Chains A and B, each alone.
Chain A
Amino acid sequence: MKIVFTPDWFLGIDVFIEIFSFIILSLFFYYSIKSYKLSRNRNSLLLGGAFLLIALAELATIFTKLVLYYDASFTQSIGQAVVTYKVVQSVDVFYYIGFFFHKLLTLIGLYAIYRIPLKRRLSGDIILVLAFLVIAALFSQGFYYLFHVSALLLLILIINNYYSIYKENKSDNTKMLIIAFIMLALSQILFIISNIGILYAVAQIVQLVSYLTLLILIIRIVKHGKKKKSNRHNIRYVRNNTRK
């Protein structure tokens, strides 16, 4: 017996939200790699890797939910939760593995996003952190809120990082990025209390708004490139490269 907090009327809509999230995350991955190819900035590559991990996490949950919703023997609604009974044992295993990878990849991806802007190089403590993330993902199978609490903590750290960056660059795009992460954090708070059925749907909608903000951010970045205004990067380039 499996319990998913998706309200009956929201089944399927949540999958569409996750498909949308997957597309946005893939776009960020694409632009990170494109940026890396031009600048050879290692951080762009790492950022791309982080977005790819979270995109794969979304993909894992999309496939798992599709199997859960449409391949189950029958689905029955009890109270706020949807209880799905399965006949085939292999689907059981698929369900656990799918959600485990969703949680693990999301947490690792968020941790990577948190670490990238930090000046400190990676040290041995990364093994310790990864071990904790695996434990959090594993135990989340029993205590669903453990994953959301871990994600929330990582998001708070990310917001704090980007706030420091915003104080330096005063960029509207960074501000928009912070807003998107704040909404993602808010969705995690709602997911923590999502055993009250309707809140699960609200959390998903907040997550959708967050990814819509990220979509607007991508459009802004792409549009900026198409503006015919120079940023005088050549002057900075000359300053950095001529007096060696």
Chain B
Amino acid sequence: MLGIIQENKGRIKPTHLMYKANLSHSQMKLYLQELLENKLIEKATEEEKIIIVITKKGRDFFTQYSQMKEFESTFGI
């Protein structure tokens, strides 16, 4: 989910995120809650609509996560 938000210039509408991540509404609610609790994303309002914005902590985490995935894939572990 973080990757999708990051790809979308760091901000996305919840419905767009739901479709892009191929998640159901309940699944997305659950994951968004976890990301919000960990301060990896935050909610903002743009033209009276709620949008999801990735935080600096979220960007850093996604970078580390991508590095970890690449590292593990390189070594086949």
Q: Which residues of A contact B (CB under 8 A)?
A: 31-32, 34-35, 38-39, 41, 43-44, 47, 116-117, 161-162, 165, 168-169, 171, 173-174, 177, 217, 220-222, 224-235, 238, 242
Contacts and interface: CB of A to CB of B under 8 A. Distances in A.
A47 B71 CA distance: 11
Contacts of A177: 74-75
B60 to A, nearest CB: 10
15 contacts: A34-B67, A35-B67, A35-B68, A41-B77, A44-B71, A117-B76, A165-B76, A225-B63, A225-B65, A230-B3, A230-B7, A231-B3, A232-B4, A238-B22, A238-B23
Interface in B20-55: 21-23, 27, 31
Contacts, number: 99
The A interface, classified by DSSP as helix, strand, loop or mixed, is: helix
A225 to B, nearest CB: 3
Contacts of B57: none
Given A38-B68, A43-B75, A221-B74, 10 more contacts: A34-B67, A39-B72, A162-B76, A224-B66, A228-B6, A228-B7, A230-B6, A232-B3, A233-B3, A234-B3
Nearest to A228: B6
A238 B27 contact: yes
A224 B68 contact: no
A234 B32 CA distance: 12
B74 A174 contact: yes
A221 B77 contact: no
A38 to B, nearest CB: 5
Contacts of A235: 21-22
Nearest to B24: A242
B76 A168 contact: yes
Nearest to B8: A230
Contacts of B71: 31-32, 35, 44, 221
A169 B69 contact: no
A238 B68 CA distance: 18
Interface centre among B3, B27, B64, by most A CB within 10 Å?
B3
A225 B73 contact: no
Contacts of B27: 238, 242
B72 A44 contact: yes
